Chains A and B, each alone.
Chain A
Amino acid sequence: LAKTTQPISMDSYEGQEVNITCSHNNIATNDYITWYQQFPSQGPRFIIQGYKTKVTNEVASLFIPADRKSSTLSLPRVSLSDTAVYYCLVGVPNSGNTPLVFGKGTRLSVIA
């Protein structure tokens, strides 16, 4: 899996949009970008996955520029319950048994 770099922590007020950027300069052609969320004392939870441009689901948007060397997870109008650690992972998804390799992630604290 490609090496990723994310900010260690971020703070935000409720109602604001939060953008977390991940750098992955050595991303390979077949790599996808995947984001997971982990609440305290819970297992990680898949949020979103993308290859290029923009992907949006009910939870977040993922923006990937043309060179794919970085990506931005966007959380619209965060609430206190969005306080969690967010992990960026890069690699080739397949039907095989590839394990996930987590970094330290970005600890997002949402303040009232």
Chain B
Amino acid sequence: EPEVTQTPSHQVTQMGQEVILRCVPISNHLYFYWYRQILGQKVEFLVSFYNNEISEKSEIFDDQFSVERPDGSNFTLKIRSTKLEDSAMYFCASRPGQAATYEQYFGPGTRLTVT
């Protein structure tokens, strides 16, 4: 069964450094998302992406964040200057184009630790 993959599984970085989290969505999916989950808290929406542009973003997704689909298969989330409060699990998700369903396929996540 096809699945969403994410790399790395765990990233440790120092405050102020840039990080890039990578995702490979399911190949025929058209909609892509990033969510995050701070330890012990809710899963929070960050951004959605369709047709090579951002469709919607939350208040969390400020100027420090950016997304890119550089080569038609990868989908990346960049944090330009990490803060301690960016420490969280980051999940990538994708969904097919036409299905009238709330089914999104999530990856295993990248645990980001900012020190």
Chain A CB within 8 A of B65 CB? no
A49 at the interface (CB under 8 A from B): yes
Across the interface, which residues of B come within 8 angstroms of A69, CB to CB? none
Closest to A47 in B: B103
Bound: A96/B30 CA distance, A: 10
Cβ–Cβ < 8 Å partners of A38 in chain B? 43
Q: How far is the CA of A46 from the CA of B3 in the complex (A)?
A: 13
One digit per residue, 1 when the CB lies within 8 angstroms of any chain B CB and 0 when it does not, for chain A 75-112 equals: 00000000000010101011111111111110000000
A contact residues around B107 at 8 Å (CB): 43
A4 on interface, CB distance cutoff 8 Å: no
Taking each of B44, B93, B104, B111, which has the highest tally of chain A beta carbons within 10 Å of its own beta carbon?
B104
| Binary A-proximity of B46-61 (CB < 8 A = 1, otherwise 0) | 0010100001101000
What is the size, in residues, of chain A's interface with B at 8 Å between Cβ atoms? 26
- Judge if A42 is at the interface, Cβ distance under 8 Å: yes
B102 lies within 8 A of A43 (CB): no
> How far does the Cβ of A39 sit from chain B's closest Cβ, in whole Å?
10
Interface size class of B (residues with CB under 8 A): 20 to 34
Roughly how many angstroms separate A51 CA and B111 CA in the complex, as a whole number?
Answer: 35
Are A42 and B109 in contact (CB-based, < 8 A)? Answer: yes
Could you tell me if B104 and A46 are in contact, using CB atoms closer than 8 angstroms? yes
- The answer to whether B93 touches A43 (Cβ under 8 A) is yes
Contacts of B70 in A (CB 8 A): none
CB distance from B10 to the nearest CB of A (A): 10
A103: chain B residues within 8 A (beta carbon): 42
Contact of A43 among B56, B101, B103, B109 (CB under 8 A): B109
In the complex, the answer to whether B45 meets A101 with C-beta atoms within 8 Å is yes
Q: Smallest distance from the beta carbon of B54 to chain A beta carbons, Å?
A: 10
Distance between A101 CB and nearest chain B CB, rounded to angstroms? 7
The 6 A-B pairs with the shortest beta carbon distances in the complex, nearest first, are A43-B106, A97-B55, A99-B45, A34-B102, A102-B43, A46-B103
| 5 more A-B residue pairs beyond the given contacts A38-B43, A95-B99, with a C-beta to C-beta distance below 8 A | A34-B103, A43-B4, A95-B100, A103-B42, A105-B42
